Structure 1
Amino acid sequence: MGSTRLLAAGGALAATLAVAAPVVTPDRAVAVPAPARGPVSGMEFAASHDEVAAGTPIVLRGRAGYLDRATGNGGRVDIYFRKGRTAPKVYLGSAVAGSSGRFRFPTRANASGDYVAHYRHRKLAITADATDFLAVYTSRQVDRMLFSWTATRLSCLPACKAAGPEQLISAAPVKVKLERACLQPGSGGRIGFTADPKNAFRAGDPGWRDFPKGDGPTDFELEPTATKGHFHLEWTSATPPEGQLASCDISFTASQRSVDKNYV
């Protein structure tokens, strides 16, 4: 019974609302216009590089003011540097934004951190802020060890082989130091850096050095065309006379000159 009374009352209320306000169908609905939107102000700002060596001259560039207007954006841009997000800002100087809003500020990069730009319109109460991070590093040339291998008293009959793991190298020449001492003269082989799983040697390939009879320098350079591969060595002892041994002591190291970066 209670539910019946609630339904009746609800029906009466619905009827009353129907009489008091006309029903608006979707076809007859009137769109409410959005409030008028004023010009959009802001700032575009960036350093000329993502990272540079310490002491490098750089230029900070940007555009500020009404970004959808080509004129009327004259103002001043103050430039600050901040070493870390919690460090205080250090004032570096100011730049003038022309009527287009464009500005530039030359400086010298000495440390990694944020460059912060603050813009103020010349006449209107318009401001904008932007930040860009720049990484700064010092560098030095170092010899990076790539691979080394040593073995002693190898018969190398029919052949001794050594293969390093797959690795990445840079495009710079690879410095190799090879030491070999064999009981039998004429023992020789080859060494190289290759991406070929079969380690196929091709005469004239700058990534290989061939020692068919063991003759050749102990210090030399390889210039592989591949930057992903492995080092490979093959060595064969000459057949010894009856009653003599075939034995070789072989070692080689491969290194590469690279740049060691230290971010400051």
Structure 2
Amino acid sequence: MRRARMLTAGAALAAVLTGTAPVAVPAGSTPARADSGPAPEAAIEFAASPDETAVGSPVVLSGTAGFLDRAGGNDGRVDFYFVKGQKGPRTHVGSTTSNSSGTFRWVTRATATGDYVAEYRHRGTPATATAADFLAVYQNRRADQMLYSWTASKLSCLPSCRAVGPEQFVGPGPIRVTLSRECLQPRSGGRIGFTSDPKNVHRPGAPGWRDFPNGEGPAEFDLKPGITKGHFYFEWTSAPAPDGELTSCNLSFTASQKSTRKEYL
């Protein structure tokens, strides 16, 4: 747990004289003054915990406040404020009381990233102390994360075209693949997968691979390789062209995955 940074501490106690009548003072002399002694010094230790949390989660504001040289008699009021950013307004979010030993605790809900401020005021004297602590608040966002993309145009793919992606990490969930293939010879086909095998050997029907015999198969599909480190492999072969015709393919695919990201508020 972080210790809060101290902003201000202490307040002077002023002696007040009431009900006294004017007194004649001989010339050259100085009237006597009551000596109130040293002003009591108050301090505060304060923390907002946890240090980081999701929006709407409980936040515990707690600490100890009072006079440095007293184990008791530190009863007082503690007000809590929230400040977002260096120039944000200070909003009162709640208050509680400290007990004789000076400890206090109050629970609120996380709304945004910023500073919580605790202001302590002693019950019987004007002594005060103030401290603040920072809290990071986030919300989880589900978004598509691009993993890999490849494209090529007017390839003969005789005997075959291949694309090998770099080694990379992926999440444990399904990988969404969008494939585009436009071939002059429609029976052209191939396969695509995410594998850790340097030889790119695959078993037909393996969940981390998809085969396209004779160009058949969906344009969008999921791969479930069951590994989180590997590379994408794509292979395509054009069907032989009849006499007098050409063979050529425009090929591309993209791979993405749903991921959860922290968005700080």
TM-score bin, normalised by smaller chain: 0.5 to 0.7
RMSD: 3.8
The TM-score normalised by the length of structure 1 is: 0.64
The TM-score normalised by the length of structure 2 is: 0.64
Secondary structure of the residue aligned to 2:118 is: strand
Name which one, 1 or 2, has greater alpha-carbon Rg: 1
User: 1:197, CA displacement in angstroms?
Assistant: 4.2
Instruction: Within 5 Å, give how 1:1-264 maps onto structure 2.
Output: 42-48=44-50, 50-53=52-55, 56-65=56-65, 75-85=76-86, 87=88, 89-98=90-99, 102-120=103-121, 129-137=130-138, 141-240=142-241, 245-259=246-260, 262-264=263-265
Gaps spanning 5+ residues in structure 2: where?
1-42
Corresponding letter in the other structure for 1:206: P
Work out the CA distance in 2 between the residues paired with 1:212 and 1:51.
Answer: 50
Sequence identity (%): 56
User: 1:74, CA displacement in angstroms?
Assistant: 5.0
Higher helix share: 1
Corresponding letter in the other structure for 1:48: P
Work out the CA distance in 2 between the residues paired with 1:248 and 1:113.
Answer: 55
Change (3 A) 1:99 1:224: farther
**Count of aligned positions:** 222
Work out the CA distance in 2 between the residues paired with 1:49 and 1:215.
Answer: 53
Gaps spanning 5+ residues in structure 1: where?
1-40
CA offsets per residue over residues 178-222 of structure 1, 9 Å max, x none? 122334454322112334444343445433222244322111112
Change (3 A) 1:204 1:47: farther
Corresponding letter in the other structure for 1:225: G
Work out the CA distance in 1 between the residues paired with 2:124 and 2:204.
Answer: 75
Corresponding letter in the other structure for 1:62: S
Secondary structure of the residue aligned to 1:131 is: strand
